[in-house]
């Protein structure tokens, strides 16, 4: 008897997320993972969150167990608007769309903006789950070159003229995977290009709060009033995953009203609303000032870890690799000329260390000699041991 597959073509043969597939190795004893962008568990304020959860009681607790509005609970939208405004993204609570993680924002925007065959521009390299969301939405994906300052605007302009894309997806601040930050000058020029070519910019910003020594340039979204006609060409996504806890599954979207409205409709058939329980807890946590209290600790620790990784890489692998040391976020991006990093990963797993080969971060024409390392969830000793193991693995190839 033959079996029919009921799965449609878009999903039947699609690859899974290579980063999520690596997760099973992280549980092996003694494994040092420099792979996922997972916040360090010891830096999450689990004690503070636990207290907040247990303080939810009476009618507040009962309503946190009920269905909620699709846009999100007003208490959390108020806090997210306050947080956004303090970062230069001045908005009212009513302009915040609460998401079940910023990943959902990428997916909702892909579904509401794109028709079959529309073109989306992404950075090379970029965040793989965004590539997948755009692919599932039927888009044609085209890569734009990047350098140490982020998107190369000459390449972007050529692509805008030639391909007439509907959307540009960018992670301009401490990018995943590149760790790079688009300069303020380029942000302004990018906005002008987006207006001239009527291309919607999705600014994905889960890492902007995690700067080490110096705050990043203002968001592209916050600069939209400085360029004529730019109010309607930017959608902004951010998240509490990297700065509070990813298990809460909370993020938010800012953007033009009609876009947010379309995403609300798409969200109604998706999960209806983000968890009312975690929204209530996050709202109370933010309102009590605990979020801002914990941030300096995150910045300081991730900053030390980033420097420890850069130091260990220079010392132990400096002759074999090139890499960019980031000013914030969770990632170091590099190249090992002449090395297939997928092979390097196999040798690394045998030596109990994990990283992500760079090919996962390209929509096409992958550079197989690239790689991404995360310093977020290892302490400085773990980073030093991890890099020694990477060096041994590279020598064994």
- CB atoms inside a 10 Å sphere around CB 18: 16
Rounded Cα distance, 230 and 342, in Å: 42
Task: Find the shortest distance in angstroms from Cβ 323 to ligand PMP.
Answer: 18
Q: Are 310 and 318 in contact (CB under 8 A)?
A: no
Residue with tokens 């304020």: 45
- Provide the minimum distance between the beta carbon of 238 and ligand PMP in the complex, in angstroms, as a whole number: 8
Name the nearest CA neighbour of 279 among 51, 82, 65. Answer: 65
Nearer to ligand PMP, 160 or 248 (CB): 248
Which residues 6+ apart lie within 8 Å of 280 measured at CB? 56, 60, 61, 63, 64, 73, 75, 76
Backbone angle region of 29, left / alpha / beta, with phi > 0 → left and psi within -120 to 50 → alpha: beta
Q: What is the Cα–Cα distance from 171 to 395, expressed in whole angstroms? A: 34
Q: Residue with CB nearest ligand PMP?
A: 101
Structure tokens at 305: 């870890």
State the nearest-atom distance from the C-beta of 293 to ligand PMP, in Å.
21
Minimum CB distance to ligand PMP, residue 351 (Å): 26
User: For residues 23 and 51, which CB has a smaller minimum distance to ligand PMP in the complex?
Assistant: 23
Question: 37 vs 386, which CB is nearer to ligand PMP?
Answer: 37
Question: Measured from the CB of residue 99, what is the shortest distance to ligand PMP in angstroms?
Answer: 7
Per 3-state DSSP, what percentage of the chain is helix, strand, and coil (rounded to 5)? Answer: 45, 15, 40
- The answer to whether 112 touches 251, Cβ cutoff 8 Å, is no
Nearest to 83 by CA among 328, 283, 297, 223: 283
Nearer to ligand PMP, 171 or 286 (CB): 171
Check if the beta carbon of residue 178 is closer than 8 Å to that of residue 142.
Answer: no
Q: Which residues bind ligand PMP (CB under 6 A)?
A: 37, 101-103, 127, 171, 176, 204, 206, 239, 241, 246, 251
Q: What minimum distance in Å lies between the beta carbon of 248 and ligand PMP?
A: 9
Residue of 248, 247, 233, 177 whose CA lies nearest to 203: 233
The minimum distance between CB 221 and ligand PMP, in angstroms, equals 15
Q: Is 32 helix (H, G, I), strand (E, B) or coil?
A: strand
Round to whole Å and give the CA distance between 175 and 207: 8
CA pair distance 355, 349, nearest whole angstrom: 9
């Amino acid at each position: 008897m033959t079996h029919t597959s009921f799965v449609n073509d878009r999903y039947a043969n699609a690859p899974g997320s290579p980063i999520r597939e690596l997760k099973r190795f992280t549980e092996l004893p003694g494994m040092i993972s420099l792979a996922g962008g997972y916040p360090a568990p010891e830096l999450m304020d689990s004690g503070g969150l636990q207290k907040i959860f247990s303080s939810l009681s009476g009618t507040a607790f009962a309503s946190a167990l009920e269905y909620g509005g699709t846009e999100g609970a007003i208490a959390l939208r108020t806090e997210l608007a306050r947080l956004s405004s303090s970062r230069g993204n001045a908005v009212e609570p009513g302009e915040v769309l609460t998401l079940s993680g910023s990943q959902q924002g990428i997916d909702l925007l892909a579904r509401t903006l794109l028709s079959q065959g529309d073109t989306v521009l992404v950075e090379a390299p970029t965040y793989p789950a965004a590539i997948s969301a755009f692919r599932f939405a039927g888009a044609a994906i085209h890569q734009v070159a990047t350098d140490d300052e982020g998107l190369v605007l000459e390449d972007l302009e050529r692509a805008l003229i030639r391909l007439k894309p509907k959307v540009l997806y960018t992670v301009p601040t401490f990018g995943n995977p590149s760790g790079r930050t688009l300069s303020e000058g380029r942000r302004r020029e990018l906005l002008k290009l987006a207006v001239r070519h009527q291309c919607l910019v999705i600014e994905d910003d889960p890492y902007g709060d995690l700067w080490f020594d110096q705050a990043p340039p203002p968001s592209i979204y916050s600069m939209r009033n400085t360029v004529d006609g730019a109010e309607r060409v930017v959608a902004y996504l951010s998240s509490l995953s990297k700065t509070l806890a990813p298990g809460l599954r909370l993020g938010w979207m800012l953007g033009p009203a009609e876009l947010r409205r379309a995403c609300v409709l798409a969200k109604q058939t998706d999960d209806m609303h983000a968890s009312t329980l975690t929204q209530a807890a996050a709202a109370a946590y933010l309102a009590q000032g605990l979020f801002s209290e914990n941030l300096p600790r995150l910045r300081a620790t991730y900053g030390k870890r980033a420097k420890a990784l850069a130091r260990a890489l220079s010392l132990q692998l400096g002759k074999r690799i090139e890499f960019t040391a980031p000013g914030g976020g969770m990632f170091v991006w590099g190249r090992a000329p002449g090395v297939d990093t997928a092979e390097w990963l196999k040798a690394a797993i045998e030596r109990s260390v994990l990283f992500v080969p760079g090919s996962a971060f390209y929509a096409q024409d992958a550079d197989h000699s690239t790689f991404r390392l995360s310093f977020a969830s290892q302490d400085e000793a773990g980073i030093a041991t991890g890099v020694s193991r990477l060096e041994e693995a590279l020598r064994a190839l």
